[in-house]
Amino acid sequence: MSDDTAPWLIVGLGNPGAEYAGNRHNIGFMVVDLLAERMRGKFKAHKARAQVVEGRLGPPGPANRRVVLAKPMSFMNLSGGPVTALRDFYKVPVERIVAVHDELDIDYPTLRLKLGGGDNGHNGLKSMTKSMGPEYHRVRCGIGRPPGRMQVADFVLKDFSSTERKELDWFVDRAADSVECLIAEGLERAQSAYNS
């Protein structure tokens, strides 16, 4: 059973750099940025090649959780290194790690939460799983499939379309809510409230 004093490690997956900031692939960064705002925290550089915010999330009382929000500063396909270093530094059991990431096989703007499973071709998850096994939580933010013959790599590295952007704030807000629900009330409760 996990150590109750250990923090939760909430990892937003994305690519560092201004040119990637609005990409579909960076929705994980967008979600942890919003969580950091809610915690009134500022990201700071960590020796694990990541930006982190430490603090508490959730309602006052027993559901208030100690969390470390993280944005790996390696590129997406190397996320496992920084996440593993943070896990070791903060002594976080793997079941208290949450990866927030884009998901091609789920329509936009749909959320699905789960524990463990495959990487579905997602390079960030592939790297994390290779470093520490698959038994971490995932908040999967649906971005849908590329239109026509567009390559997946081109699609995920493009910004959200103007139509998608109309719902993006709402979607990021809902994903952030689902993370709070997951760490405060558990996976089942979060799935029934947010899986669509």
Active site residues: 25
Distance CA 147, CA 141 (A): 18
189 CB neighbour count, 10 Å cutoff:
13
174 CB neighbour count, 10 Å cutoff:
18
Beta bridge partners of residue 115, listed in sequence order: 137
The C-alpha R_g of the chain, in whole angstroms, comes to 15
Q: Under a CB-based contact definition with an 8 Å cutoff, are residues 33 and 12 in contact?
A: yes
